[in-house]
């Protein structure tokens, strides 16, 4: 597909301003349904609810502007939006399997993606294999006669394991599998999996795309046929749609997508530079860091990384690690990422929760997200917190 300039996409694409009083900001068409002038119009609209305005579960003008921009950002023919990233992931996988089928998934996906395969789809007779996708040979070895979907998440969001997108897409094509990727980590600014031949590109738009920590949204980008299939089945029947007001907020977020993602990327790299020589730092995880085993693959398929990185600290005891975490003030302790605010997710927080297994990451591990603040101000905070660790 012809690539549209990023600035054109973020600022103008899909915005037919003459249709709404030349307003710069698109209107929020807060209407559940749309009327027909006559029966001819009604029949024509009912023949294609994806294109026409019938009912907001199917199509809404504000949401349609967002869909057009998102498809252009990923270089696909079309896109759908959902009420959450999890909703988009479920629709993409469910839309491409039936009872008796098998899904191959990289070994450490987003937790609810794992739950979709282990718990929900297992109830409907869809089996799965989790494989170490850092080597495409492992994926090849896991293909069964009934495998229908190859599900990737590259990089994932704690240790940033990557899959070779070009090889995975070729493998999927050769075996008739639908290749799906969760591209939330890199955002469309830094990685476009469709350009490597991946069929379905998903995002938790809650992260960078909206970018202001005030909307939960999911995105699915694919060719027209795939989008129509998932629209007619999963989107319309499961009904996990994005409302027009949230769509307008995401459109506003997109205005600054490039600026925000690049700023987070720079801030993360600044913080890593400060941290890597600190005596209390044991290890750093970041796809472009010299110590990262897949650095050359990451640099081949991504133009940058964004704000996420992980650090293992030298801590002598659980108590010492807890005290360190509690001294950090400017990184909010919270899930998610991709917003304006810097965050941290300490692995130690997942320990000693009744009924919950300890996470694979050791208790000295912290996943950080660098937001949009002054990086020197952020470092000042980490530096003071490190005293006494």
Ligand X SMILES: *Cc1c(COP(=O)(O)O)cnc(C)c1O
Point out which residues bind ligand X (CB under 6 A).
Answer: 84-86, 110, 157, 182, 184, 204, 206-207, 216, 218
Nearer to ligand X, 239 or 388 (CB): 239
The least distance separating ligand X from the CB of residue 61, rounded to whole angstroms, comes to 23
293 within 8 A of 323, measured Cβ to Cβ? no
The least distance separating ligand X from the CB of residue 335, rounded to whole angstroms, comes to 8
Nearer to ligand X, 84 or 267 (CB): 84
DSSP state of 79: E
Q: Please identify the residue of the shown chain whose CB is closest to the bound ligand X.
A: 85
The least distance separating ligand X from the CB of residue 217, rounded to whole angstroms, comes to 6
Nearer to ligand X, 89 or 385 (CB): 89
CA 55 to chain centre: 28
Give the residue carrying structure tokens 């927080």. 349
Cα separation, 190 vs 196, in Å, equals 13
Nearer to ligand X, 89 or 389 (CB): 89
DSSP H helical segments within the chain, as ranges? 6-11, 39-46, 61-74, 85-94, 111-115, 122-123, 136-142, 165-174, 187-190, 224-230, 236-238, 244-254, 257-276, 295-301, 318-327, 375-386
For 357, other C-beta atoms within 10 Å of its C-beta total 7
Lookup: tokens for 178:
């639908």
Nearer to ligand X, 45 or 221 (CB): 221
β-partners of residue 369 are: 308, 343
Nearer to ligand X, 64 or 345 (CB): 345
Nearer to ligand X, 343 or 389 (CB): 343
The least distance separating ligand X from the CB of residue 110, rounded to whole angstroms, comes to 4
DSSP string, 170-237: HHHHHTTPEEEEE-TTTHHHH--GGGGT-SEEEEETTTTTT-SSS---EEEEE-HHHHHHHIIIIIHH
Between the two ends of the chain, the Cα-to-Cα distance in Å is 52
DSSP state of 110: -
The least distance separating ligand X from the CB of residue 347, rounded to whole angstroms, comes to 16
| Torsion sign (Cα): 155, 156, 157, 158 | negative
Cα Rg, the chain, nearest whole Å: 22
Element (H, E) at 285: strand 281-285
Nearer to ligand X, 254 or 389 (CB): 254
The least distance separating ligand X from the CB of residue 353, rounded to whole angstroms, comes to 20
The least distance separating ligand X from the CB of residue 182, rounded to whole angstroms, comes to 5
The least distance separating ligand X from the CB of residue 52, rounded to whole angstroms, comes to 28
């Amino acid at each position: 597909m012809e690539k549209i300039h990023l600035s054109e996409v973020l600022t103008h694409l899909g915005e037919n301003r003459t249709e709404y009083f030349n307003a710069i900001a698109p209107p929020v068409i807060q209407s559940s349904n749309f009327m027909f002038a006559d029966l001819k119009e009604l029949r024509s609209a009912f023949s294609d609810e994806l294109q026409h305005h019938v009912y907001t579960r199917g199509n809404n003008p504000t949401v349609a502007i967002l869909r057009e921009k998102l498809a252009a950002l990923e270089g696909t023919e079309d896109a759908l939006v959902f009420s959450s990233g999890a909703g988009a992931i479920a629709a993409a996988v469910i839309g491409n399997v039936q009872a008796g089928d098998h899904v191959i998934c990289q070994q450490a996906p987003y937790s609810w993606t794992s739950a979709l395969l282990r718990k929900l789809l297992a109830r409907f007779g869809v089996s799965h294999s989790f494989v170490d996708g850092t080597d495409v040979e492992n994926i090849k070895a896991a293909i069964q006669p009934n495998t229908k979907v190859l599900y990737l998440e590259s990089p994932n969001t704690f240790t940033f394991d990557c899959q070779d997108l070009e090889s995975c897409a070729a493998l999927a094509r050769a075996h008739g599998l639908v290749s799906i990727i969760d591209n939330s980590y890199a955002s469309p600014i830094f990685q476009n999996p469709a350009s490597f031949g991946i069929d379905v590109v998903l995002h938790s738009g809650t992260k960078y795309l909206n970018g202001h920590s005030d909307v939960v949204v999911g995105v699915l980008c694919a060719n027209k046929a795939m989008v129509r299939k998932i629209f007619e089945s999963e989107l319309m029947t499961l009904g996990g749609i994005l409302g027009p007001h949230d769509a307008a907020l995401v459109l506003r977020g997109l205005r600054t997508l490039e600026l925000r993602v690049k700023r987070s990327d720079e801030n993360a790299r600044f913080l890593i530079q400060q941290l890597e020589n600190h005596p209390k730092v044991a290890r750093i995880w970041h796809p472009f860091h010299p110590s990262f085993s897949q650095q050359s693959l990451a640099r081949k398929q991504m133009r940058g990384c964004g704000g996420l990185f992980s650090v293992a600290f030298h801590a002598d005891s659980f108590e010492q690690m807890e005290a360190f975490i509690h001294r950090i003030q400017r990184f909010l302790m919270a899930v998610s990422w991709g917003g304006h605010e810097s965050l941290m997710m300490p692995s130690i927080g997942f320990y000693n929760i009744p009924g919950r297994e300890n996470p694979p990451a050791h208790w000295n591990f912290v996943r950080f997200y660098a937001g949009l603040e002054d990086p020197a101000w952020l470092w000042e905070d980490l530096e003071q917190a490190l005293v006494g660790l």
